[in-house]
Amino acid sequence: MTRYIVTWIESAQAELAQIWIDASDRQAVTAATHAIDKELVEDAATKGSELREGLRELSVSPLRVLFIVREEDRLVEVSKVRYLPSPPPPPRENGLVTPTE
């Protein structure tokens, strides 16, 4: 297990602050932020998926982050964060939720 220091660059911090201000569920944004930090602190180079060499993404609803892992420094830099809206509710039939299989 390799441990990393997780940092959020200034522009990502500003994006996160705006997402939190605009969020209807601020607790979900806060919980996702903590989960992202917790996930990336250990073995960050294996987390999420690689977009291109040196750039990875990780989604923890309702957030998606882009990050860079600096192996030699044991450092993770979160460079971008986006809000992922919840999927629309299932269609209703006669005012009742349609069962899904």
Q: What is the pLDDT of residues 25-43, one digit of tens each?
A: 999 999 999 999 999 999 9
Please report where in the chains the tokens 């209703």 appear, as a residue: 92
Q: How confident is the model at residue 85 (pLDDT cuts 50, 70, 90)?
A: confident
Q: For the whole model, what pTM was predicted? A: 0.83
Task: Kindly report the three-state secondary structure assignment for every residue of 16-66.
Answer: HHHHHHHCCCHHHHHHHHHHHHHHHCECHHHCCEEEECCEEEEEECCEEEE
Domain segments of the chain: what residues? 1-67
